Amino acid sequence: MNNELTGRFLKYISYDTQSSEDNEGICPSTDKQLILAHYLHDELQAIGMQDVTMDRHGYVYATLPANTDNVAVIGFIAHMDTSPDCSGKDIHPRLIENYDGKDIVLCEDTGNGEIVTRVRQFPELLRHVGEDLIVTDGHTLLGADDKAGIAEIMTAMTYLMAHPEIKHGKIRVAFNPDEEIGAGAHLFDVEHFGCQWAYTMDGSEAGELEYENFNAASAKVTVKGLSVHPGYAKDKMRNAILIATEFAQQMPENEVPEKTDGYQGFYHLMNITGGVEEATLSYIIRDHNRQMFETRKKTLLDIAERINSKYGQGTVLADIKDTYYNMECQLRDKQHITDIAKKAIELTCGHCKVVPIRGGTDGAQLSFKGLPCPNIFAGGLNFHGPHEFVSVQSMEKAMMTIVEICRLTAEA
């Protein structure tokens, strides 16, 4: 077991860095992310990295100088924040050595029942029999998304410094806030980073490489009703809640997250609130195919128009905003970037599995800002909840994948 890598990971998850969707326009969205940012800044200096900087928004950058000439400048990126979906405060991790393939009791019965990660519910556990797993106590997420990535990048840099026989060009690293709320790339200084391309270390299962992601949009549907005393409401009242429900029922019923996988897109109703006078539905729209993505947005607008035709124009207002796009179109003519990653992953894992991201990463937005940026596995699974876990051996493979990418880039 790589104690240096594991020790770093356990240190990083001791920091509560949960981001918040309630502080739109503020970066970082939570001040507590800055505490870890300062720690990482100081650690980068302590291990001997150069050009270590941190801006007021918590973006941390550093350089490992080249030890050979005429090599492309590449970078590695990971995010510091954890998901708003589950608490990241007071994480109590536990190391399970040589996992036996059975259910894992995270928390014994304390009067409210046991908390158990069951193999039948999380069959991916069986891919890690015999490995060393880090789990939670069932009351918080773990934070492998993406503190495993930070630990892997940091440890890979110390490994390269300790092995000067491995030739590499100039390597840049960056750690950023607010990825989990879709804002991690917004203030990322691509020009200052100064790379020809980079990789986010923010994937899951060992051996996976991702360079296709969803096209994404958010939709806010506002329904205007008319309130009248219910005793005298006949042919007068328009109940916005009921109209909103009617809108939701007209959306494609099988094109939802719980019924789709792989390259299949979806509509996801995130929230519905309101009263008789006004109700609001919040959706996210996702599809890998750009044409299908545009069709999905039109479908939602068409439903709004049908409702308006029935109840009167202005009853339903639909506001759709694009969030990010599929990075594949930015990488299509830059195959060497993914080829190097594939070969590095094959060397460390024995195989490379290319999978579509059923979501987005900072790398997607960065690719459209001029920094091509595929995503590489970091080893964690079951993100954003108390059943999250990470394999130490997977983290070790991710760390060595970084090393191999640096070596192969120098040899290209």
Chain-wide mean pLDDT for the chain? Answer: 95
The per-residue pLDDT for range 149-177, each reduced to its tens digit, is 999 999 999 999 999 999 999 999 999 99
pLDDT score recorded for residue 323: 85
- Nearest Cα residue to 175 out of 35, 48, 65, 73: 35
CB atoms within 10 A of CB 163: 11
> How is 189-216 classified by DSSP, letter by letter?
-HHHH--SEEEEEEE-STTEEE--B-EE
Nearest-angstrom CA–CA distance, 99 and 381: 15
Question: Is residue 21 a contact partner of residue 168, using CB atoms and an 8 Å limit?
Answer: no
Domains of the chain, each with CATH number or no CATH:
3-212+327-411 (3.40.630.10), 215-324 (3.30.70.360)
Which of the residue ranges 24-28, 30-34, 162-166 would you say has the lowest mean pLDDT?
24-28
Q: Which residue has the tokens 């029942």?
A: 113
pLDDT score recorded for residue 125: 97
pLDDT score recorded for residue 110: 67
pLDDT score recorded for residue 343: 98
Q: pLDDT class for 360, splitting at 50, 70, 90?
A: confident
Nearest-angstrom CA–CA distance, 20 and 23: 6
Kindly list the distances between the CA atom of residue 160 and the CA atoms of 65, 108, 200, 397, 412, in Å, as whole numbers in the listed order.
11, 42, 18, 15, 18
Nearest-angstrom CA–CA distance, 85 and 182: 14
Q: Which amino acid is at 1?
A: M
- Whether 111 shows a pLDDT value over 80: the answer reads no
Kindly list the distances between the CA atom of residue 224 and the CA atoms of 268, 270, 282, 314, 324, in Å, as whole numbers in the listed order.
22, 19, 15, 7, 29
pLDDT score recorded for residue 324: 87
Sheet of strand 133-135: strand arrangement: 94-96, 133-135, 389-391, 380-381
pLDDT score recorded for residue 108: 84
pLDDT score recorded for residue 117: 96
Sheet of strand 74-79: strand arrangement: 50-54, 60-64, 171-176, 74-79, 197-203, 375-377, 208-210, 353-354
- Whether 53 shows a pLDDT value over 70: the answer reads yes
Q: How many residues does the chain have?
A: 412
Q: pLDDT class for 35, splitting at 50, 70, 90?
A: very high
pTM of the model: 0.88
CA angle 73, 75, 78 (to 5 degrees): 175
> How is 338-402 classified by DSSP, letter by letter?
HHHHHHHHHHHHS--EE--BSS--HHHHHHHTT----EEE-SEESTTSTT-EEEHHHHHHHHHHH
Burial 28-54 (b: 16+ CB within 10 A, else e): bbbebbbebbebbbebbeeeebeebeb
- Whether 372 shows a pLDDT value over 90: the answer reads yes
pLDDT score recorded for residue 127: 97
Give the distance, in angstroms, between the CA of residue 301 and the centroid of all CA atoms in the same chain: 28
Residue percentage of the chain with pLDDT more than 90: 93
- Whether 109 shows a pLDDT value over 80: the answer reads no
Residue percentage of the chain with pLDDT more than 70: 99
Q: pLDDT class for 312, splitting at 50, 70, 90?
A: very high
CA angle 266, 268, 269 (to 5 degrees): 150
Question: What six digits make up the tokens of 15?
Answer: 């920091």
Average pLDDT over every residue of 45-71 = 98
- Whether 112 shows a pLDDT value over 80: the answer reads no
Q: pLDDT class for 361, splitting at 50, 70, 90?
A: confident
List, by residue number, the catalytic residues.
Answer: 81, 179
- Whether 302 shows a pLDDT value over 70: the answer reads yes
Question: What six digits make up the tokens of 262?
Answer: 């792989």
Nearest-angstrom CA–CA distance, 73 and 96: 39
The per-residue pLDDT for range 196-253, each reduced to its tens digit, is 999 999 999 999 999 999 999 999 999 999 999 999 999 999 999 999 999 999 999 9
- Nearest Cα residue to 331 out of 232, 170, 209, 204: 209
Nearest-angstrom CA–CA distance, 135 and 390: 7
